[in-house]
């Protein structure tokens, strides 16, 4: 019989929360640049893998199966989707970034196409269901970690495949982020090649100055309003998803694509985006709360993973390098077609590949006044990810089937 040190649900949840908090505390206390290039996310995922797989003194610390893990999937995931999507402000992004939004969408198309190309190139050395891991990575590269987790749930991605996606995501981040930062040094040559109109940067700066970010401390009633919104939307998703899933199965040929989990996540995503056009978007602190839940969820996914599944990491990472190359080609094509400057291109790529975690870093390096716009652009990616990423993974699987 397996010896487990902590088995109670509240104890397991406490471990996940402590792991997630510890690495951010470590990054804050040490102020190490290391964490700019190897984000805490990787350690937050890997630590529970060790705690649930490797015996310490004859005991594993936490179980690989717990009601907490399924509870996070059922309830925490739709909650953080709502928290993050109600802040999407498409008109503001378009005002500030202009055609930079089109370049970002080109980058998203590059992620979709790159997923298929990369999977075709390396699938013969991976398990048959590895397309689910590629789909999860597409979620990260279209919108961010929240989309990766949502896509993994929609595709029923095995924990081992999600682990490979997280490893590949962080390896590519180590290479891609420095390239985006260094691109600023070639701004004049790049802008001349892309035929950027001289007035573009001035117009973008003027639009950025008009967008003022409100930074206010949340009040107790606002937290109650936020709780009512996110839990209410989650409840609606849970209530409507079973019936809609049955209807889809009975009236279409898409039963294998639209599982109850997929329908629930897409429902929650759509409702949250509709709410983003209302006064609900004014509620403060929702993105921070949503991101905190994301990291606890990541820790829970790590606890479910098996170390044996990480043996495919070199091949998966090789596929990711092919993939990012395709994304880069699409970004360059978008820059030339829409005559967009290198600063916008770098921020748009970061909004895809690194989402809200790295887009502000790239914006601060290129043009600090675009930091708020970079966050909005990343949130636009969040809005796209849950719709596009699952199809990228499925398309990759269909191409080789």
- Tell me what the mean pLDDT of segment 266-292 comes to: 89
For residues 235 and 75, what is the distance between their CA atoms, to the nearest angstrom?
A: 9
Q: What does the buried/exposed string (b/e) look like for 122-146 if buried means 16 or more CB atoms within 10 Å of the residue's CB? A: bbeebeeebbbbbbbbbbbbbbbbb
Lowest pLDDT segment from 4-18, 81-95, 139-153: 81-95
pLDDT at 210: 58
Query: Regarding predicted confidence, which is higher, 191 or 367?
Result: 191
Q: What does the buried/exposed string (b/e) look like for 312-349 if buried means 16 or more CB atoms within 10 Å of the residue's CB? A: beebbbebbeebbebbbebbbebbeebebbbbbbbbbb
Does the pLDDT of residue 123 top 60, yes or no? yes
Does the pLDDT of residue 369 top 80, yes or no? no
Does the pLDDT of residue 62 top 70, yes or no? yes
Q: What is the DSSP letter of 219?
A: P
Lowest pLDDT segment from 18-27, 334-343, 380-389: 380-389
- Tell me what the mean pLDDT of segment 384-394 comes to: 91
Per-residue pLDDT band at 308 (split at 50, 70, 90): low
pLDDT at 1: 40
pLDDT at 178: 85
Residue 227: count of CB within 10 angstroms of its CB: 12
pLDDT at 331: 95
pLDDT at 170: 83
Q: What is the DSSP letter of 217?
A: P
- Tell me what the mean pLDDT of segment 116-138 comes to: 94
Lookup: tokens for 106: 């080109």
Does the pLDDT of residue 68 top 90, yes or no? yes
- Tell me what the mean pLDDT of segment 177-186 comes to: 88
Query: Regarding predicted confidence, which is higher, 306 or 142?
Result: 142
pLDDT at 359: 83
- Tell me what the mean pLDDT of segment 320-335 comes to: 96
Does the pLDDT of residue 114 top 90, yes or no? yes
Q: Where are the domains of the chain?
A: 86-215+271-288+310-400
- Tell me what the mean pLDDT of segment 252-274 comes to: 86
- Tell me what the mean pLDDT of segment 285-311 comes to: 83
> 4 in helix, strand or coil?
strand
pLDDT, one tens digit per residue, over 208-240 is 665 555 557 788 999 999 999 999 999 999 999
């Amino acid at each position: 019989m397996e010896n487990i040190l902590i088995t109670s649900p509240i104890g397991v949840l406490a471990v996940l929360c402590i792991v997630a908090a510890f690495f951010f505390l470590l990054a804050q206390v040490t102020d190490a640049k290391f964490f700019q290039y190897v984000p805490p996310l990787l350690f937050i995922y890997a630590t529970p893998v060790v705690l649930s797989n490797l015996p310490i003194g004859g005991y594993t610390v936490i179980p690989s199966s717990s009601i907490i893990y399924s509870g996070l999937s059922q309830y925490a995931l739709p909650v953080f989707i709502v928290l993050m999507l109600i802040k999407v402000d498409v008109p503001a992004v378009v005002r500030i970034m202009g055609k930079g939004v089109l370049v970002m969408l080109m980058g998203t198309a590059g992620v979709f196409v790159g997923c298929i190309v990369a999977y075709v190139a390396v699938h013969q050395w991976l398990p048959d269901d590895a397309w689910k891991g590629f789909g999860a990575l597409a979620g990260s590269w279209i919108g961010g970690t929240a989309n990766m987790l949502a896509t993994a749930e929609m595709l029923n991605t095995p924990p081992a495949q999600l682990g490979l996606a997280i490893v590949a995501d962080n390896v590519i981040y180590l290479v891609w982020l420095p390239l985006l930062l260094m691109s600023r040094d070639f701004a004049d040559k790049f802008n001349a090649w892309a035929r950027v109109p001289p007035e573009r940067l001035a117009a973008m700066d003027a639009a950025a100055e008009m967008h003022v970010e409100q930074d206010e401390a949340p009040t107790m009633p606002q937290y109650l309003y936020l709780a009512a919104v996110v839990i209410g939307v989650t409840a609606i998703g849970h209530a409507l998803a079973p019936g809609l899933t049955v209807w889809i199965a009975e009236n279409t040929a898409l039963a294998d694509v639209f599982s109850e989990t997929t329908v629930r996540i897409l429902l929650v995503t759509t409702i949250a985006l509709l709410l983003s056009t209302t006064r609900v978007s004014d509620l403060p602190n929702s993105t921070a709360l949503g991101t905190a839940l994301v990291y606890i969820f990541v820790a829970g996914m790590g606890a479910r993973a098996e170390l044996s599944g990480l043996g495919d990491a070199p091949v998966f990472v090789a596929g990711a390098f092919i993939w990012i190359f395709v994304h880069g080609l699409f970004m360059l094509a978008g820059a030339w077609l829409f005559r967009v400057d290198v600063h916008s291109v770098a921020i748009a790529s970061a909004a895809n590949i690194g989402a809200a975690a790295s887009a502000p870093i790239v914006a601060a390096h290129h043009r600090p006044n675009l930091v708020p716009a970079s966050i909005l652009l990343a949130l636009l990616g969040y809005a796209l990810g849950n719709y596009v990423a699952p199809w990228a993974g499925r398309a990759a699987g269909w191409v080789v089937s």
